[in-house]
Structure 1
Amino acid sequence: MQTQRHSQATSTNATQAVKVPEYSMMARAGLVTFEATCARCHGSNGTGTDKGPPLLHEIYNPGHHPDGAFVSAVRQGVRRHHWNFGDMPSQPQASDREIAEIVRYVRELQLANGIVYREHRM
């Protein structure tokens, strides 16, 4: 597992170390699509930017945001609700396969960084 440093999308602009795992073949394909399509807002390695939130954040654990939430976000877009960023537009150019690969990439990256399923309680 490698460690890379990236700036985190927070008001303090702190630096966080990101553990990069040995990805599965599906996640490697998702990484390529993520970097080409999603990283401009969600940051390289999902660390966030001034345009979009970090996906390496506990709020995106599978118990709070299951895989279907990511699929829905890509397909339908998302209204701003957890962060002070604008709404996320839908990404109609993304195929079902590409979306599944991106989700796998995000989940493997999250797991390597300690973000695991935690039951969501309201």
Structure 2
Amino acid sequence: MPGRDDVSSTSDEPVSTGAAIVAVAVPETLSANAEIGKLAYDAKCAVCHGADAAGQDGAAPPLVHKIYEPSHHGEAAFLLAAKNGVRAHHWRFGNMPTVEGVTDGDVKMIVTYVRELQRANGIN
């Protein structure tokens, strides 16, 4: 899946609504847990990572990308990112801040949603 790693941003810049970075095929149906995860994702993650985890030009990377496949970024990586933020290392969007008001249970459901999107796009 193509991705853009040449987009620069800093954490001090306001999040802007940009074009999706990747095209995401959304499955016709999601599991019950993924449906819950989609609600949490839409409330807490989509503002930066875009609709359906496709990323947003100038804001944040796509989560439907081979970099975030389970063998490279497991569930614990998502939990730590939400709780502690992440220093930029794969992309040039600046550091990811902590996600306020998200629980471990929320993140678990969000990961379920993202994994189902990834599988629908050939990322296993």
Q: If the length of structure 2 is used for normalisation, what is the TM-score? A: 0.79
Q: In structure 1, list runs of 5 or more residues that go unmatched.
A: 1-7, 117-122
Structure ranking higher on relative contact order (CA contacts 8 Å, 6+ apart): 2
Distance change >3 Å, CA 94–CA 40, structure 1 → 2: same
Unaligned stretches of 5+ in structure 2?
8-18
Could you tell me how far apart the structure 2 residues matched to 1:46 and 1:14 are?
9
Aligned length: 109
**Equivalent of 2:39 in 18, 32, 56:** 32
Identity %: 46
More strand by share: 1
Task: Give deviations 1:33-60, integer Å, cap 9, x for gaps.
Answer: 1112101111101110121000111111
Give 1:78-97 correspondences, 5 Å limit: 78-97=86-105
With the length of structure 1 as denominator, give the TM-score of the two structures.
0.80
4+ residue stretches of structure 1 with deviation over 3 A? Answer: 8-17
Amino acid at match of 1:104: T
Structure 1 37/115 Cα, relative in aligned 2: closer, same or farther at 3 Å?
same
Matched, 1:18 2:45: no
